Structure formats: structure tokens, C-alpha cells
Amino acid sequence: MTGAERPLIAVLDYGIGNTHSAQKALEKGGADARLTRDAGLIADAAGVVLPGVGAFGACMAALRSTGLEAPALDAVASGRPFLGICVGMQMLFTRSEEDAAATGLDVVPGTVSWIPPGPKIPQMQWNRLDLTQPDDPMLQGLGTEPWVYFVHSLHGVPDDPAVVAATVEYGTTINAAFRLGNVFAAQFHPEKSSRPGLALLGNFVRICSEATSSHMAEPISTEIMTESS
Amino acid sequence: MRTARVIPCLDVTDGRVVKGTNFVDLRDAGDPVELAARYDLEGADELVFLDITASSDNRETTIDMVHRVAEQVYIPFTVGGGIRTLEDARTMLRAGADKVSVNTAAVQRPELIAEIAAEFGSQCVVCAIDARRRRADGEPSPEVPEDGWEVFLHGGRTPTGIDAIDWAIRAVELGAGELLLTSMDRDGTRIGFDIELTRMISESVNVPIIASGGVGTLEHLADGVTEGGADGVLAASIFHFREHSVAEAKSVMAAAGITVRPA
């Protein structure tokens, strides 16, 4: 495979949680996925993944202490494909009810709120996505019944409801995925969601690969022009 | 939507899956990674690997197995057996396990649950409880003045005097995110879960309960959810030797009105 077909994806490693499985699942999807906190490598990557498990405040503190906040925000601002997973998704929001003192990355304006009382908390189970943005390239090929695995006590409530890409029913309607420009964020764990999850990560790898190819097209044609002139 | 989970349990020793009764007469049931991949294809929602290796010399083999499973199986899995310290838990989670299950060490030193939860979150900590009914038949008896269930250790051999419901509540307070409840009276009997025990525990705590011990038919799995209030059902032998597939289990559960992820 050429570099364009096997895009470099930076999985931000801020020392919390099981980032190993996200990396392995992206490699299965065809990526050259690297666990990293190297700002240079993150800047060079075709796409960036922000994983996370545990507590919002602890994850934000770890992201900052490992110097990854600025590279993460730069990656979002660069327009390259960006994927947040679970607490990595929650960190993209402005704030979380889990830790009022902690501030998020504020990429997706809104609040991470507790799942309304009723069902068992956390939601630790598989659930079926209802796609509110079925045409999103990340949500193609997930099958007619995309069941995915959740472990969470809070969910994102964006200021602009139009950014919600998928929901699930859990006592009430819970937001499960978001799309804002180049950013896709999932509350569930695609790396633990068997075939639909691998399909979603495969979509991310393909989108990264296509973004790299179109980016590469310009300099290559210029080079040919230079040689022939 | 509340969805019940079907969880095959794989007892492993020296890197192989084995199945026996009460830790004797172990039969080889296959390669853990191959079995795990098959269960994933059949629609298993999660897997539990229970390391029954007697000596700690072979821990490296188990860690290697966890690595291999994590690289090839994309559903959540728990590793239990021999998790005695925070460092043991850290090793398994870093090797790729999603959760660790603690049992004996947590009864002996309950703070272990809090320590793992503080570092990795409650969702990583499963407290396994092996319980035996004080009165085998539930009838009044002068020899056993108090009914209820007692926590046992070491695969059901060592009584603790601790009430199973009290321990369940305490474990959740300490930070256990899930309870794996095994009836030692029913384990290996194939006559069904201890429904009363399962219901008592599931009504006492607000974390998911996985019922285990005694499954002989697929209807038993459904009963664990509909009658016992379990969030997940765990079984080993009915799956390993291909008596039943996970898909068959799910269709029986669905027919009983339980929401399951289709296989």
C-alpha cells in the first residue's frame, strides 16, 4: 500500500485509559495509527483521534499536562478529519456537569449533562443508533441496525441541536454522535462495537486517506509542470 | 432501551480455554483468541476471561493472551482471576482488557475496589461475588437460624461469614461499576440461575448485574433477565462445546420479550 492509502492517524496519548484498542481498530481499518504526544507528528497526520475514558476533569487535566491541548485545537482548526471518542467526545464540549470547575475544549459549544434519572447509570450496554444525519460519510455502511457499545453516565447537549448526528433511546433520547465541520464525535466506543464500529472507523480512515490524496494532488502536478517546462 | 447482554465466559489456564466441574476434570476447549472471535461473530455482547491458573508463574501467559485478544477482538472483555493489587489491574487494563474483575482480594481488602476505580473509573471494575445460600432449601431450620446468602472465596471453598447483599452494596459504594454474581449452589448443576439471589441483589444496587451459575438451557438465560432482573447473563459450557450458539440464546431471549442486540 502507498502512504496515501494507509494514512497516518495520530491517536492522542495523554496517559489515561485504554487507547490501545482504538489504535488497533484504526490499523485494522487500514491506517498507520500511532499513539503519540508528539506535536510534530500530530501536525503531519492525515487525521487525529482524541480517545478517553474515565472522568472529564481528570482527562482535561491530563490533556493539558501532557501538552496536547494546543495540538488538538490546532488539528481541529486545520480542517483535517478529527474524531473524538467517549470522554474524548465530551472534552470537545464547552463544559461538563461532572466537574463544574473543569473547562472543555469548546469545539462543540454546549454542555455535557447527566443522563436523566430513570434507567441504570452508567449506561453500560449495546444500543441501536437512530441516525439523525444518515448521509454523514462517517455513518455509511453501518448496516440497517447499527448497534454500538456504550459506557457512560453523561451525554453531550449541544447549543445547536443541528450538530447531533445520531441518538439512542435510554429512558429518554440520548445524543450519541455529533458532526461539526471536520469534527465527528461519538459517545459510544466504535473500537468495541464489532462490525458497525469497525465500519465507522474504516470510514474515518478512508476520509483521512481521501483528504490526503486531494491535498497531495496539487504539489505533484506542479512538479510535473516544472519538469516539462 | 434496556438491552440484556449475553456473555460467554472463558476459563483459561496456560493460555488455553478449559472447562471442568469445580476445577477438576478440566477439558481443553480451545484457543482463547479463536473462541473469542467466534463468539464475536455469533453476536456475543461481551466476553469474560477467568484466569484459573493456580500458580502465579504463568501470569505472563495470561497477559500475552490479553494482548492477543485485544488485537483481534473488537467487543468489550473483562479479565478476572488473580487480580490482587492495583498493579495487577493496571497490567491487565494496559494489555487491552476493558474491565477487571476482582473477587477474593477485594473481600480481604475492600479498598482495592476504590483504588482501581479512582485510577481507571468505576466502569473498569467488576466485583465478582460467589454466594451460597445459608439454608440450602430456604426452609426454617434450628441449625441455620438466619437465611440469606453468604460470600464464599476460592471458588466456593472458603466461607467468609459476610452477607452477600451487604457485600454487594458495599462494593458498589466503594466504586464497583458492575457485579458478577455466581450462585455456588447452582454452579455446574445446569438447573438454572438462583433467581431469588439474583433478584435480591439487583433490587439492592443500581449498577448492572451479571447472573452466573447453573445455566443448562437457553430458557435459563431468559429467566435470569425476566425473573432475576439481571442486565447480563453469563454462561460457559453451553457455548464452548457448541451445544448452543450465542445467536440461539438471543433468539430464545427475544422470544421471551427481552431486548437483545440481534446476532
In order, the DSSP letters of B47-93 are: EEEEE--SSGGGHHHHHHHHHHHHHH--S-EEEESS--SHHHHHHHH
Contacts of B76 in chain A (CB under 8 A): 149, 151, 189, 192
Name which of A55, A170, A192 is nearest B98 (Cβ-Cβ): A192
Beta partners for residue B129, in sequence order: B181
Place of cell 487494563: B93
Mean of per-residue pLDDT scores for chain B: 91
Q: How many Å apart are CA A88 and CA A189, to the nearest integer?
A: 10
CA of residue A36 relative to chain centroid, distance: 15
With a CB cutoff of 8 Å and minimum separation 6, the contacts of B142 are none
What pLDDT score does A60 carry? Answer: 96
Do residue B40 and residue A194 have CB atoms under 8 angstroms apart?
yes
Axis-axis angle for helices B86-95, B111-120 (nearest 10): 40
Q: Which of B45, B98, B130, B231 is catalytic?
A: B130
Which chain B positions have a beta carbon within 8 Å of A128's beta carbon? 1, 261
Q: Which of A20, A121, A168 sits opposite B96 (nearest CB)?
A: A20
Which of A18, A120, A151 lies at the smallest CB-CB distance from B206?
Answer: A120
Smallest CA–CA separation between B138 and chain A, in Å? 30
**Structure confidence at residue A17 (pLDDT):** 66
Check if CATH label 3.20.20.70 holds for domain B5-255.
yes
Write down the ipTM of this complex.
0.89
**pLDDT tens-digit map of A172-196:** 999 999 999 999 999 999 999 999 9
B259 CB within 8 Å of a chain A CB? no
Q: Does B203 touch chain A (CB under 8 A)?
A: no
**CB < 8 Å to B93, chain A:** 18
Are A81 and A207 spatial neighbours (Cβ–Cβ below 8 Å)?
yes
Inter-chain contact A192–B75, Cβ cutoff 8 Å? yes
What's the pLDDT score for residue A215?
A: 55
pLDDT < 70 regions, chain A: 1-4, 17-18, 214-229
Q: Closest Cα of chain A to B58: distance in Å?
A: 23
Q: Which residue in the set A121, A125, A189 is minimally distant from B3, CB to CB?
A: A125
Q: Rounded to the nearest 10 degrees, what angle do helices B218-226 and B195-202 cross at?
A: 30
Closest C-alpha to A77, from A204, A185, A183, A218: A183
Spatial strand order in the sheet of A93-96: A93-96, A108-114, A154-158
CB pairs under 8 A between A and B: 80
- Residue A229: its pLDDT value, please? 36
Indicate the DSSP class of residue A153. S
Q: How far apart are CA B25 and CA B21, in angstroms?
A: 7
CB contact under 8 A, B231 and A194: no
Residue A120 confidence (pLDDT): 87
How far is it, in rounded angstroms, from Cα A101 to Cα A90? 15
Q: Which residues of B touch A126 (CB under 8 A)?
A: 3, 5, 45, 261
In this prediction, residue B1 has a pLDDT band, given cuts at 50, 70 and 90, of: confident
pLDDT tens, residue by residue, B138-154: 677 777 777 899 999 98
Which has more confidence, B205 or B240? Answer: B205
d(CA B129, CA B233) in angstroms, rounded, equals: 14
Mutate one of B33, B69, B79, B98 to test the A interface: name it (highest A CB count within 10 A): B98
Distance of CA B18 to the CA centre of its chain: 16
Active-site residue, from A86, A152, A155, A208: A86
CATH 2.60.40.10 assigned to A8-213: no
Q: What is the pLDDT of residue A62?
A: 94
The domain segmentation of chain A, as residue ranges, is 8-213
A86 is catalytic: yes
B231 touches chain A (CB under 8 A): yes
CA distance A171 to A127: 12
Residues in chain A within 8 Å Cβ distance of B121:
53-55
Confidence bin at B54 (pLDDT 50/70/90): low
pLDDT in tens, B224-254: 999 999 999 999 888 877 789 999 999 999 9
Contacts of B40 in chain A (CB under 8 A): 194
Q: State residue A228's pLDDT score.
A: 39
Question: Quick one: which of A85, A102, A103, A109 has its CA closest to A176?
Answer: A85
Q: Kindly determine whether residue A194 and residue B121, on different chains, have CB atoms separated by under 8 Å.
A: no
B140 part of contact set with chain A, CB < 8 Å: no
Tell me whether residue A189 is one of the annotated catalytic residues.
Answer: yes
